[in-house]
Amino acid sequence: MTAKITLKGTTLIVGGARSGKSAYGEVLIASLKLNPVYIATAQADDEEMHQRIIEHQIRRGTGWTTVEQPLALCEALKQYAVPGNAVLVDCLTLWLSNLMMADKDIAAETSKLADLMPLLAAPVVFVSNEVGMGLVPETALGRDFRDHAGRMNQRIAEAADNVSFIAAGLPLSLKATKRDKT
């Protein structure tokens, strides 16, 4: 996969499951030749998730600093989105799940993140799933998640300098602005 945009400021990458979002984000971060930092929001609560985490680690290879932060994303960004680093946050929808399970105020946490984004001193790529393009979830929890994810993605896209949609491993630029943070 080849990077199609010049990475400046903050970038949101959205797409479906297994669409290539994370791999694209990794390519963007690696292209900067800065210290790559991976902020992982996933928690290995079952074997399937554990295997996904291993798959991502293998694909990234060595050289990345990995920070596991399932809830306090803004605090991790303040610590690691500093000059000399380039940060990949993977992913916002797992962060959202964690916030929901911890009974956090989703709107407040989303606003806190969006408000922080223009203040970050390093390029940051956020990965998020686009979950609103399919069937209506059967359960109330599923519908709440879909709705929160849609609102979160809109808010983060508004705050981001760049937004790309990934389908079948191919990026489509939805928004590109010029703000140098490299």
Supply the residues annotated as catalytic.
56
The CB-side HSE value for 32 (13 A sphere, CA atoms) comes to 27
Query: At 160, phi and psi to the nearest 5?
Result: -75, 150
130: Cβ contacts below 8 Å, ≥ 6 apart: 14, 15, 16, 153, 165
Token look-up 């946050």 returns 89
Rounded to 10 deg, the angle between the 92-101 and 140-159 helix axes is 130
CB 89 within 8 A of CB 126: yes
Measured between its terminal Cα atoms, the distance across the chain in Å is: 22
Query: With 0-12 CB in 10 A as exposed, 13-18 as middle and 19+ as buried, what is 105?
Result: exposed
